[in-house]
């Protein structure tokens, strides 16, 4: 938005919010676990013999990441405005599940559906953390400084590795989600998606009929836009419908 209309948000404000959010996210879910893991391993009495290349510390750091993200999601779920968002999130999932089951989009039909969905962004987030758990520890912790270095220095020098691995972890996670979408009935897919689906028990809540009506209206609007070509052609109207940058049909996801 250009910030000229009433109630408009300036590009600067949007950019500042984005940068601040990314910085806080990195600090909480990437930087903090590195420092915490160093303290935990040293408190446990880990030494150079049992912690070769910092492998133990690396796995502790990845475990701390998972604990932090689950703890964070659980904590914010108790905040009433966020809880309301989670109810709309659950209604959205129910509506899409109803549509994909081939049933009419009525409140009664939608409410009968599960509030969990395999293509939810929550699944992607959890898969990112799982992939990180599998890949990040393989990079030696003493890549830049010896393991005998101070705790703060070992944690600090791990941060460039975290940044460098982000595209790799995100890319692998994205491809896994795509593959899972094509093989959703395979046993390994169900196992791989299970942690994300379980986490959706936190990031979604059972909606009431009012939430469901909103989800149905939103889904119907998206379907109309897809049918009229608005999504493919990048048409942006008063309803805010726009295609992605590739000008390809936008799949309805959650």
For residue range 40-72, what is the model confidence (pLDDT) as tens digits?
988 887 655 556 668 889 999 999 999 999 999
Select the more confidently predicted residue: 80 or 180: 80
**In degrees rounded to 5, what are phi and psi of residue 250?**
-90, 120
The helix/strand/coil state of 120 is coil
CA distance 95 to 130: 28
Read off the pTM: 0.77
> Among candidates 67, 36, 198, 200, which has minimal Cα distance to 129?
67
Domain residue extents for the chain: 32-233
Which pLDDT does position 4 carry in this prediction?
56
* Percent of the chain topping pLDDT 70: 84
For 135-191, how does the pLDDT look when each residue is reduced to its tens digit (9 = 90+)?
Answer: 999 999 888 998 888 888 999 999 999 999 999 999 999 888 888 777 877 888 888
Using a 10 angstrom Cβ sphere, with 0-12 exposed, 13-18 middle and 19 or more buried, the burial of residue 57 is buried
């Amino acid at each position: 938005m250009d910030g000229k209309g009433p109630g408009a948000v300036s590009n600067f404000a949007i950019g500042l919010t984005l940068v601040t959010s990314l910085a806080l996210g990195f600090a909480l879910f990437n930087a903090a676990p590195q420092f915490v893991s160093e303290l935990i391993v040293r408190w446990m009495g880990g030494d150079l013999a049992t912690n070769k290349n910092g492998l133990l510390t690396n796995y502790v750091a990845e475990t701390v990441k998972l604990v932090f993200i689950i703890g964070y999601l659980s904590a914010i779920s108790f905040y009433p405005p966020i809880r309301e968002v989670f109810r709309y999130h659950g209604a959205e999932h129910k509506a899409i599940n109803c549509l994909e089951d081939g049933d009419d989009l009525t409140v009664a039909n939608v409410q009968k559906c599960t509030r969990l969905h395999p293509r939810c962004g929550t699944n992607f987030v959890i898969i990112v953390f799982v992939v990180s758990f599998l890949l990040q520890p393989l990079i030696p912790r003493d890549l830049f400084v010896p393991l005998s270095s101070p705790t703060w220095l070992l944690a600090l020098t791990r941060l460039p590795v975290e940044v460098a691995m982000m595209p790799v972890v995100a890319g692998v996670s994205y491809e896994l989600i795509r593959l899972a979408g094509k093989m959703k009935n395979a046993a390994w897919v169900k196992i791989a998606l299970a942690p994300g689906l379980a986490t959706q028990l936190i990031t979604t809540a059972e909606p009431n009929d009012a939430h469901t009506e909103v989800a149905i209206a939103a889904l119907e609007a998206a379907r109309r836009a897809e049918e009229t070509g608005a999504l493919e052609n990048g048409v942006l109207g008063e309803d805010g419908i726009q295609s992605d940058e590739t000008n390809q049909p936008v799949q309805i996801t959650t």
